[in-house]
Structure 1
Amino acid sequence: MGSASPSYKGHRYPVEVISHCVWLYFRFPLSFREVEELMLRRGVIVSYETVRRWCAKFGQAYANGLRSRRPRPGDKWHVDEVFIKINGELKYLWRAVDSDGNVLDVFVQNRRDKAAARRFFHRLMKKTRAVPRVVVTDKLRSYGAAHHEVMPSVEHRAHRGLNNRAGNSHQPTRQRERAMKGFRSVGGVQRFLSAFSGISPHFRPRRHLMTASDHRAEMTVRFTIWDQITGAASRPTTA
């Protein structure tokens, strides 16, 4: 199911420039100033503050558009949590992916106790509008306690070795955390990761399972979808 492209009314730059800057920032571990420099190399003069505003305004809309194109999530969910430091304070990043590796949700919380697990399970089901057949977690006891309260009819498999899919899904976030030299606020992290988890995986197909020609064909399809959801497909391409 598709979604309408965002409105660019009042923006003097063409949609191709805006969507390209947003793509660069969320796809690669770049700063806003580095995106500014890359665009300058292409002959486009745009300030890093403008790039920042575009990412804040359009990043989530683009991510939502990409998510609307995905099929329904698989019925086997992998859930995991890792610690992150935000302005020097320890927080926990909760993440859920389906059996195909699609990110279902990310959520920053202060703790990793039963209440936090319960809150994340409720949020997951509300966001996906689905109930899984199986939930796979590590052996953190909070998961088991929350599972019995929130989704007692769902099979729960608690084993560290079974949950590599969710654990591996944290790696791009860690890469961005290093590139950004840490996170500064809970709200900022949640907003960034919500958009990032919708955009970045779209451009990360399972390259190791594809031939070079298949990978190029798949990326062509994915760029076409990107142009459609951003609105760039309806306009002539700029050099």
Structure 2
Amino acid sequence: MAERGVVVSYETVRAWCSKFGREYAKRLRRNRGRLGDTWHLDEVYLKIDGRFQYLWRAVDQEGQVVDILVQSRRDTGAAKRFFRKLLGKECTVPNRVITDRLGSYGAAMRQLIPKVEHIQNKGANNRAENSHQPTRERERRRSRFRSASEAQRFLSTFSAISNQFREGRHLIQASTHRALMTRRFAEWRVICGSVA
């Protein structure tokens, strides 16, 4: 934009994200491929307006964010709400769920999806733990979130869009990575409507 002589403020970018981001994220979710059959779940606290809120996140074995939910509690009821959201949106049940040792996950799974294998191991859950890092970075840049609903809106949009461009770079060859990113940027241009 600056190269073309267009002056854009941070507030303009924020307004664009608010106006177009959710629609782009919805299109990306609709077009995303099949998720993995192993889900890693974790929760992390966010301090919003002086109170602790919990960001629940599910990630598949490839590192793709399945979904997130911001809630004020960390109990069995909150875990059940998160599982209902995951299962309702994805219309699929994973074969295996890996979590840390929080007891709420086990209680919720026994009630909602009792046949799914549940592995409680903090070391095996590093994929979900690492997926919180971009959120922490965004939280610092934005000087924290002002409300739980704002955090939910922003983080669900951000995770869907970042899924499009974040690839496990260390797992593939450079030529494969370039081809994959070329295809993903072409998809992005179609979703944004910038291709005639």
TM-score (norm 2): 0.94
Give the counterpart of 2:27 among 65, 84, 89.
65
Which position in structure 2 is the counterpart of 1:207? 169
**Aligned AA (1:228):** V
Aligned length: 196
**CA-CA distance at 1:214 after TM superposition:** 3.1
Sequence identity (%): 58
Extract unaligned runs of 5+ from structure 2. none
Give per-residue Cα distances to partners, 1:188-220, cap 9 Å, x unaligned: 111000100000121111122234333322221
Structure 1 CA distance for aligned equivalents of residues 11 and 161 of structure 2: 21
Give the AA of the match of 1:208.
H
Give distance in 2, aligned partners of 1:211 and 1:153: 37
1:55 paired with 2:17, answer yes
> What is the rounded CA distance, in whole Å, between the counterparts of 2:174 and 2:114 in structure 1?
45
Note if 1:100 corresponds to 2:68. no
Measured in 2, the distance between the counterparts of 1:108 and 1:48 equals: 25
Q: Shift of residue 180 of structure 1?
A: 1.1
Equivalent in 148, 153, 163 of residue 125 of structure 2: 163
- Give 3-state SS (helix, strand or coil) of 2:195's partner: helix
Rg larger in 1 or in 2? Answer: 1
Give every structure 1 segment of 4 or more consecutive aligned residues whose post-TM-superposition deviation is greater than 6 Å: none
Mapped partners of 1:179, 1:150: distance in 2: 37
Cα deviation, 1:17-50, whole Å, max 9, x if unaligned, reads: xxxxxxxxxxxxxxxxxxxxxx334422334333
What runs of 5+ residues in structure 1 fail to find an aligned partner?
Answer: 1-38, 235-239
Please, what is the CA RMSD of the aligned residues?
Answer: 1.4
Partner of 2:137: 175
Picking from 152, 156, 161, the partner of 2:114 is 152
Alpha-carbon distance in 2 for matches of 1:100, 1:204: 11
